[in-house]
Amino acid sequence: MERIYLDNAATTPIDKEVVAEMVHVMNNYYGNPSSIHAQGREVRTLIEKARKTVAGILNATPAEIFFTSGGTEADNTAIRCGIAAYKIKHAITSKIEHHAVEHTLNMLLKEGVIDKLSFVNIDEKGNVDYNHLEELLKNNERTFVSLMHANNELGTLTDIERVGDICEAYNAIYHCDTVQTMGHYVHDVRKLKAQFIVCAAHKLHGPKGVGFLFVNHSVKISPMILGGAQERNMRGGTENVYGIVGLAKALEIAYAEMEQHQSHIQELKTYLKDKLSKEIADISFNGETDADKSLYTVLNVSFPAMEMADMLLFNLDINGISASGGSACSSGSNIGSHVLNGIGADANRPSVRFSFSKYNTKEELDFVVEKVKQIVDQNVNV
């Protein structure tokens, strides 16, 4: 059975051009980039070339780009080190942020590093209440704000330039988790006004285990990982050279092909949404679905209450369809999705997140709709 992969928000298939670039480096360059001999200098050159590529794409300077093991490390570094550097005691986030953000801020509160953690209001679609954000900033001293660009489960987009303007007006430090949107939208850090943004290469057809943290030159932080002078004394540990090269290549490809991929994938998303709405009664969609308000790679579908709702994803899996999802909390033993809980989703309705890439086709989606309809018909009103 040929499988259909619709879980690209979790990770994407690596691009063959990226693989070729990484294999070339693996086969030909083996020196430690911290060594001063010829082999070391060759590898150091590869890293700095990749750094310049990433910086150029983002309209940053190379000195503002620090390579990490991925988005989680980048988020943790931005939050922990940003708060520590400026001795900030108040942070603002939302209840639908990625756990890399939510768990880190809660731990800092528990440890007494911050005294107060505020949650900005969000509506039933996952939209940020910008007026409430301003109120929270107005009523507290200097604050650390962490709000993501696109929610990884819902796809709802936040106007991060507006958030940046608000934060600037109140002298707040702004960290934006851009893991889901890096390589899918243009990010110009000179316009964004965020002190920190992050990337995980595997979300844009790059390798796993590598990412970067952008640190605006206006802020100065200490490293979170100690042990060496790598990354200009900002991250100890020998660099993941092959991963860094792969990341830069993946980002380069993503920007070169962005317009055509946006058009193709948005068409797929709209096609699946319309076809599911036509074929299956009583479905709805979690989060925003309008093209200008929603990440074009994500469609979160809320299905009718059914018998064996927790088996929906399993049934898709055995039919050769890879997707992800969950439900809101329905009991003390089932914590459910914190994102769906955060928007007040119906705990009785199972949800599936279908997330697309440049490799998906309409023919695949026709098969998906056929199988989803069979599963729902067999389990609803039994």
Catalytic residues: 329
Phi, psi of 298 (to 5 degrees): -125, 135
The distance in angstroms from the start CA to the end CA of the chain is 29
CA distances to 80, 95, 100, 106 from 103, in Å = 11, 11, 6, 5
Contact 328, 378 (CB under 8 A): no
Residues 6+ positions from 247 with CB-CB distance below 8 Å:
50, 54, 67, 199, 201, 206, 207, 210, 211, 212
d(CA 253, CA 22): 14
153 contacts: CB under 8 Å, gap ≥ 6: 9, 96, 286, 287, 298, 300, 337, 339, 340, 353
Within 8 A by CB and 6+ apart from 137, the residues are 92, 143, 145, 166, 167, 169, 170, 172
Query: How many other CB atoms sit within 10 Å of the CB of residue 61?
Result: 15
Say which DSSP state 128 is in: B
Please give the torsion angle defined by the CA atoms of residues 238, 243, 245 and 248, in that order, rounded to the nearest 10 degrees. Answer: -120
- Tell me if residue 144 falls in helix, strand or coil: strand
CA angle 166, 172, 173 (to 5 degrees): 115
